[in-house]
Structure 1
Amino acid sequence: MDNSTKFQQQASVKWDFENPASFRPYPFEIIDFPAWKEFMALNWKYPFYASTIYILVIFSLQRYMKNRQPFSLRTLLACWNGVLGVFSILGFCRIFPEFWKILQSDGGFHRSICAREGLNMPMAYWSLLFGLSKYIELGDSLFIVLRKQPLILLQWYHHCTAMILAWVIIPYGEPLTRWLGVMNYGVHGIMYPYFALKSMKVYIPRNFSMIITSLQLTQMIVAVGLNIYSLYIIGTGGECAREPGSLVWVGVIYGSYMYLFADFMYKSYFCKKTKKQ
């Protein structure tokens, strides 16, 4: 038995479907989610390969562009951000109702994190697209490099690790992913339309960009808090549908996000020297 098969058996966890009439899927949302989870678990190396290629490409391209004029790409950038914005809004609208419903139930907060219940086909479909979309979002960096804008650590590190994290933890079938999906779709549903409008030179007050950064930082803080809550429940002998590998991945990656976004926010909006520059 090779290491990939061992990883698959450990990571692909069953979560039975519940498809009430209120969460009836559209025809295109009907997928073989267990098969997709097994595929992702078996091919867990894919996002690592993609990250390696991504880093080589963007930094090679950045070097290539060093002594060349930047491209404008405003129309293409507006379309790119607009499409990702619409996609994020649709994803949020399709998974938020189930998320809200379980929160409103008895013990909803705990159940939303620790109980494998409430999985329906729309939630499964948009969870899968959530993971696959992280590959598409790597294209954000190409616009930054081709337009010769600053490519900061937070930008490329976040893209790489978000793709890896989504691809690795989705097969675990954890209820926590509903939180991560709702928050990410929600923030991106605001962020990408904002970028689209900015690329079209639509005036938007600077304070709005601070609101988006605040939402991003809040997303990271909440994710870290949920991970700590899971550890507390497990540590006190309670039951929580979390896998050891996921606890480590989420804790390390979202912990690093929390630090990087806090640092970015401080330097962008509160550091007097940076604001002056």
Structure 2
Amino acid sequence: MSRNTSIGSYYKYIIEQKPLGYTFNTNPYFKGFEFEKVNLLWWQNYGIENWHLAFYVGAVYILAIFGIQRLMKNRPAFELKYPLFMWNLTIGLLTIIGFIRVLPGFLRVINEQNGLYNSICLRSGLDIPTAYWTVAFTLSKFVELGDTIFIVLRKRPLVFLQWYHHLTALIVTWLTAPLAEPAVRFCAVLNIGVHSLMYPYFALKAIGVKVPTYIANIITTLQLGQMLVGLAVNVTSWYLQYTGYNCPRHPLSIKVFCFVYGSFILMFGKLFYDLVIKSKWKLKDDKRKQS
């Protein structure tokens, strides 16, 4: 963590102008590195003016993955062992760094008096690292589409969950990011945290490292937990808004997130059941038969 105690022009601007409507933490512990000092208003305006970008990219994504899958039907699969390793390792390292940078600010807000309400509903307590990595989190949804390209080039099974969750996460994140809703803290922290485990795991699997099964089960459990917490936060913010509390959420944002998290819970719940619950039952049955 950087601990530069001087208040530069960037911090004066952040504190006085409150970009995105937030008050920013002035504690030196949460000051950003130079690369984290981005123009937040520029990114917000770019997202508003280019709200359709995610739909265009999403359309190209769908055409690309199914087009490549068709082209590869009668062709040998590409191995792509080391490119896939580097891809997952790079994203994994970046998400680890991102998680380390956003977690302190999140814990600070959540541990305040009325911390749960503050973290979901108040535009306060934001710090430079969290602001930067939230922008990076939004942009990462474009990058993560590359996961599916590797799948179709390597002729691995392309399941509905894989491309559906990438596509919907991209569109919903890009459309709602300019709203700068406080509840996004949970979405960003949880997603970056899970990915900081998931992508290093994929990197090791890509080069044939035998990772214990329980690691995959932990990641699957965390993925489902992320969706359950995300839905709970979304419903809580709606309830607080409905009962008269100040909780800035756009009605469309609440509906879209409820749909997306609800569909993710169903699909990741099925994955959890197949990979964790059923596998444990099978293991117990095998042991019983051997005894």
> TM-score, length-normalised on structure 2?
0.87
The equivalent residue for 2:67 is 60
Aligned residues of 2:89 and 2:199 also touching (Cα < 8 A)? yes
Deviation of 1:27 (Å): 0.7
Match of 1:220 among 209, 221, 227: 227
For 1:66, give the aligned amino acid: K
For 2:225, give the aligned amino acid: T
Deviation of 1:25 (Å): 0.9
Aligned residue runs from structure 1 range 1-277, under 5 A: 14-271=21-278
Greater RCO, 1 or 2 (C-alpha within 8 Å, sep 6+): 1
Aligned residues of 1:65 and 1:146 also touching (Cα < 8 A)? yes
1:205-251 alpha-carbon deviations (Å, 9 max, x no partner): 22221111110000000000011111111121222122212212211
Provide closer, same or farther for how the CA distance between residues 30 and 167 of structure 1 changes in structure 2, counting only shifts above 3 A.
Answer: same
> TM-score, length-normalised on structure 1?
0.91
Q: Which ranges in structure 2 are unaligned for 5 or more consecutive residues?
A: 1-18, 284-291
Provide closer, same or farther for how the CA distance between residues 102 and 16 of structure 1 changes in structure 2, counting only shifts above 3 A.
Answer: closer
Taking the aligned partners of 1:104 and 1:270, their CA distance within structure 2 comes to: 34
Taking the aligned partners of 1:33 and 1:248, their CA distance within structure 2 comes to: 26
Bigger shift: residues 129-138 or 200-209: 200-209
Aligned residues of 1:19 and 1:121 also touching (Cα < 8 A)? no
For 2:266, give the aligned amino acid: Y
Taking the aligned partners of 2:129 and 2:271, their CA distance within structure 1 comes to: 35
Secondary structure of 2:26's match? coil
Secondary structure of 2:199's match? helix
Secondary structure of 1:175's match? coil
- Find runs of 4+ consecutive structure 1 residues off by over 6 angstroms: none
- Aligned identity (percent) is 43
Bigger shift: residues 80-89 or 16-25: 16-25
Deviation of 1:254 (Å): 1.2
Secondary structure of 2:157's match? coil
Paired residues in the alignment total 264
Deviation of 1:14 (Å): 2.9
Aligned residues of 1:19 and 1:119 also touching (Cα < 8 A)? no
The equivalent residue for 1:9 is none
Q: Which ranges in structure 1 are unaligned for 5 or more consecutive residues?
A: 1-11
Taking the aligned partners of 2:110 and 2:116, their CA distance within structure 1 comes to: 5
For 2:125, give the aligned amino acid: G
The equivalent residue for 1:5 is none
